[in-house]
Chain A
Amino acid sequence: MMARLHPAAVGADASPAPQRASQAHGPGAPYPRRRAELGMVVLAFSLVNALYLLAGFGAKGSLPKDSPIFAAATAVLMLLGHLVVRKFAPGANPALLPLAALLNGMGYVFISHLDHTEAMDQAIWAVVGLACFTATLALFPRAMDFERYRYSIALAGIILLLLPLAPHIGEDINGARLWAHVGPVSFQPEEFAKIALAIFFASVLAERADLLSTGTRRVGRWLVLDPRYLAPLLAAWGLALLILLAENDLGSSFLFFTLLVMLLWVATGKMAYLGLGAALFGGAAVFALEVVHHAVTRVQAWLHPWAHFSTSGYQIIEGWFALAAGGMWGLGPGQGNPQVVPEASTDFIFASIGEQVGLVGLTALLVVYLLMMASGLQAAVRSQRYFNKLLAAGLSLLLGVQVFVVAGGITRLIPVTGITLPFVSYGGSSLVSNYVLLAILLRISDDTSFEQAPAEPAALEAQLVASGEPRAKASSLTRSLVP
């Protein structure tokens, strides 16, 4: 793989030999994809640094003195990320990493104008995130490796999910029990649990989708799902309820459930899962409104924010004031008073950004997320392996739905649920877990570049049943032959 750095390889496309390119010629041979990625990384670097200068100028009226340090740090981190992808996922989609770098860098700039110490934390978390990103790509050379460890991963996910409930470890913050303290480290385990459970569900569904989609039974005149096949749905529902009731976290509960119901539908094509899922979640939500005080105030604030301005509606109305102050073009980076909105750097960073860069800037931000989701879905569609397809689709949709839950909460389409904007919000757990998510998407995308299109569905089944071990060896053999 060192050979890729050789100047002769520039023409890898056209050169006659490359075995892998001829074997699995995706819409771009590995090397040009990385060159495109480098170009986009440079673009992201330029945009982030331009924003940093502009925001410093806007806030202080002079160029920030530490801009060379910031430029050096962002250049090193982004190039490192690029080199990691070059080494460990050379065939992956070239847009994903630059988009994530752009979001993380811009998020840092906005956070640095809200709270200096939080910005320092965020910089450290970005480094940790990059390390976890590297580790994920290095430890899992093929996407099927995730599948191999699925029970360990599922167990880890459930332990993570339950961790905040454990005495001495968990802690209530703002009415929700989301935090865990292990030694000196505090984090929100559900951010990581989300990914673990996505992996587990994708693997279970990849195996059982056919059974689940045919498992109907005739009762009188209707075809209904066999109760046995409702088990996964009910398991998902149970998890969501647990998060909702025990941890008081409406947003994560919704995210989990949506993710799992969508995966069920994508895997089986049964609309019944969507309908039933909506009904189950709706029922649980109504029940929660009767029981969970936290949820009641959130819904009150959603339906009648003006009537509760001094209490529960304050945050959302201040968020609206921030957005309105920004207007079409924004007050300019570094300007305005985004800090007035409670949780301006975390749950409500979307409003802070809207105040500074306006509707135009927020639209660009939404487009960046859509591009990221689209890149992930592209990897899903190109994947030949069922598990890869489902996992990539699940994680990509998770990203899109999470953006909707945050932005929709702030714009009052849905109640505010207090989850973070991926890669942008301040918060270590969120940032690091999203880097892991990014690494998984890149890993799946990389796999597509040398997967062979299966001739028959039966062949796919055979592949699925077969152990990944020999194939993994074969692939690493293939790789070492690539010039």
Chain B
Amino acid sequence: MREVDRRVRWAGLGACLLVLATFAQLNYIQVFHASALNNNPLNSRSVLENYALPRGAIISADGATLAQSIPSNDQYKYQRTYPEGALFGQVTGYDSLIYGTDGLEREYNSLLTTTSGQGFPKSFAGLERLFTTQPEPDNLHITVLARLQQLARQQLAGRYGAVVAVSPSTGAVLAMYSNPSYNPTPLASHNVAVEEKAWKALNDNPGRPLLAATYRQRFFPGSVFKVITAAAVYTFKPALANKDFPTTSGFVLPGTAGQVLHNFAGEACGGEMLELFTVSCDTGFGQLGLLVGGQDLAREAKSFGWDQPVPLDMPGTAESYFPPPSSFFRNAGALAKSAIGQESVQAVPLVMALDAAAVANKGVIMTPHLMSYVTNGQGQVVERYKPHPWLHATSAATAAKLTALMESVVNSPNGTGVAAQVPGIEVAGKTGTAQTGGPDIETWFVAFAPAQDPKIAVCVLVENQPPADEYQGGTIAAPIAKALIEAYLGVGRG
């Protein structure tokens, strides 16, 4: 029996040694090798730590909650939700486990995840969690109005297109909606299958909802580009503004084998700048472009924010495109067509809205922005956006002359933009109707109001309209701009 007892003790000692071996190995893993493991790129724990904290809310200028974190009973502790769904999907973007972030969620990621307030040192973060009731992140308040977004969606009525409205004096974006939009909620799902399905559907959608038409895509601008051509005339060849062009329905492009530039629907037009602009005369502006020259036209486009990144506080903004002057060498046809926004000229709706805002704001383009102010968990404002200029597009004098031209578009009986008239308010605008190379056309309207004290500048684009006489920017896009102006200024139906 004693022998057996001795062996029992030996076996016990053996088991103790095995446990001691795991203890030694634990020392290696948890202490000596720990920092290497913590910093290993395969280690996803830092990502999860971010998800374990609530993320700040995104709130519209009129108080609608656009994105918020609500407690969830799963491993990620908080669920991101987007109560307005697709209405603000392209503005807020998403915060996805698999696909990362986009939109404001990406641009203001660090702001939404940090807490301003009593600062515990990083190493005591665990203690802070123990002793404070709940870490409350900062909230982002943006300049966009939910009621203008809703109006834009309602006015587009399911048609592909984009609506951008900005405040000319501050650069604040008041509305930025385009069809098709998307609901970010499934992308923020904690269910991988739901996320993957939503992601696939978005990428298979021919309307490319992830590429917001408002600021990530460019379109043929057509006649709305004449605002810039007119500005180039006033800036570089002011005498041309008073040149009287003979009335014609088409003219032979110089340097071509008899290629003729026709007016829209074969109409005949002519006269001085005011008349040409009011009726959107292609033949007149084609000739003006030739007389101004490619060099100066490109320079004017550049000063209006083309061919350069737009400093909007959003990731992935597209640039508007005006061809380089060298491309017009021995190609007068291309120059004449570019002067009326055709050929390879392409505009981002946001930039067209900023160009209208430049005319409205005495030639100065304010930096476009979505962030308005930031509040902490207690509701105190901790940061406020300060407006500052982006570009000096043109002189105040030129801007005043352009305003007169644009008012004429809306107010003259023969103006193309009469549909944008608002009783009691002077509206300045310009229509555009662009061929796309396909069967359909794109209709544009840029505007600002009130003309002498501008509060809002709008760009409306409606895509894929069948080419018929009445489908001009003036009949399709202008009423939408009118509705936004009325709603924002609180007149008419609004």
A interface residues with partner B (beta carbon < 8 Å):
57-58, 61-62, 116, 262, 265-267, 269, 309, 317, 320-321, 323-328, 331-332, 335-337, 339-340, 354, 358-359, 362-363, 366, 369-370, 373-374, 377, 380-381, 384, 386, 389-390, 393, 396-397, 400-401, 403-404, 407-408, 411-413, 454, 457, 460
Contacts and interface: CB of A to CB of B under 8 A. Distances in A.
Contacts of B3: 269
Main secondary structure of the interface of A (DSSP, over half): helix
Given A359-B31, A362-B30, A389-B1, 20 more contacts: A57-B130, A58-B129, A61-B133, A267-B4, A321-B40, A324-B35, A331-B126, A332-B126, A335-B129, A339-B75, A354-B30, A359-B30, A362-B26, A384-B1, A389-B4, A389-B8, A393-B8, A400-B16, A401-B15, A404-B19
Interface stretch (B45-53, B62-70, B78-86): B45-53
Contacts of A408: 18, 21-22, 25
B5 A381 contact: yes
B380 interface: no
A381 B216 CA distance: 80
Contacts of B15: 373, 397, 400-401, 404
Given A262-B11, A377-B12, A393-B8, A327 B30 contact: yes
B22 A381 contact: no
Given A58-B129, A393-B11, A327 B26 contact: no
Interface magnitude class on chain B: 35 or more
B51 to A, nearest CB: 9
A264 B30 CA distance: 37
Interface centre among A309, A380, A408, A411 (most CB of B within 10 A): A411
Interface in B6-51: 7-9, 11-12, 15-16, 18-19, 21-23, 25-27, 29-31, 33-35, 37-38, 40, 42-45, 48-49
A99 to B, nearest CB: 15
B191 to A, nearest CB: 15
A65 to B, nearest CB: 15
Q: Which 8 pairs show the lowest CB-CB distances between chains A and B? A: A400-B15, A324-B37, A411-B25, A404-B18, A339-B75, A407-B22, A324-B34, A359-B30
Contacts of A401: 15, 18
B76 to A, nearest CB: 9
A96 B3 CA distance: 26
A457 B35 CA distance: 59
Given A269-B7, A381-B5, A404-B22, A324 B130 contact: no
A62 to B, nearest CB: 7
A354 B26 contact: yes
A337 B133 CA distance: 20
5 contacts: A320-B37, A321-B38, A327-B34, A400-B18, A407-B22
Contacts of B33: 324
A337 B76 CA distance: 8
A460 B30 CA distance: 50
B45 A386 contact: no
Contacts of B7: 265-266, 269
A100 to B, nearest CB: 17
Nearest to A381: B5
A59 B44 CA distance: 19
Nearest to A326: B30
Given A321-B45, A324-B29, A325-B38, A337 B12 contact: no
Given A400-B16, A404-B15, A309 B42 contact: yes
B378 interface: no
Nearest to B7: A266
A401 B129 CA distance: 38
Contact of B48 (A340, A369, A389): A340
Interface centre among B16, B19, B29, B132 (most CB of A within 10 A): B29
Contacts of A380: 5, 8
A365 to B, nearest CB: 10
A407 B19 contact: yes
B130 A332 contact: yes
B12 A400 contact: yes
A362 B29 CA distance: 12
Given A61-B130, A116-B73, A327-B30, A413 B25 contact: yes
Nearest to B38: A324
B327 interface: no
A413 B22 contact: yes
Contacts of A116: 73
B25 A396 contact: no
Interface centre among B5, B27, B48 (most CB of A within 10 A): B5
Contacts of B4: 266-267, 269, 386, 389-390
Given A332-B130, A359-B31, A369 B19 contact: yes
A363 B23 contact: yes
A457 B129 contact: no
Nearest to B13: A377
A397 B11 contact: yes
B31 A327 contact: yes
B134 interface: yes
Contacts of B34: 323-324, 327
Given A58-B129, A269-B7, A457-B1, A328 B30 contact: yes
Contact of A411 (B8, B22, B38): B22
A374 B18 contact: no
A58 B125 CA distance: 12
Contacts of B18: 400-401, 404, 408
A331 B48 CA distance: 14
Nearest to A313: B42
Nearest to A392: B8
A412 B25 contact: yes
Interface in B105-157: 126, 129-130, 132-134
A412 B26 CA distance: 10
Nearest to A58: B130
Contacts of B22: 366, 404, 407-408, 411, 413
